[in-house]
Amino acid sequence: MGDNGFAAQLAEDLSEEDLRLVLSVFRTDVQRLTDTMAGAATAADGPAFRRAAHGLAGAAGAVGAAQLEAACRAAMAEAGPLVGLLAEIRAWGEAALGDVALVLTRLDGQG
């Protein structure tokens, strides 16, 4: 697991059904928002990039994907090349999606 305690709080607070739903929505958010950031990076649209990073930071924070959240917040604050920032966010995004898959597999195993 890329982030220690990923989804741990969610597992405590939510029913299995709700947990699956939230993680499913998170997975969609990661894909959608990194795609948006990629488009903004290509267009060198800093404000659009930062708006998407803000959304992804919130989503990551909500599920406990701490390193993805930190990368997004760093990207919101930095004025560096967007492509470089995007690469790091993508990496942490993929790690978070891996965590999601692990949690879902665990849930399937319990079910």
* CB 42 to another protein: min, Å: 21
From the CB of 109, what's the least distance to another protein, in Å? 22
3: DSSP letter: S
Residues that bind another protein (CB under 8 A): 9-10, 12-15, 18, 21-22, 25-26, 28-29, 51, 54-55, 57-59, 61-64, 73
Q: Which is nearer to another protein, 13 or 83 (CB)?
A: 13
Q: CB within 8 A of 27, min separation 6: which ones?
A: 97, 100
**Cα atoms in the Cβ-side hemisphere of radius 13 Å centred on 104:** 15
Match 């948006």 to its residue by tokens.
Answer: 36
Q: How far is the CB of 76 from another protein (least distance, A)?
A: 8
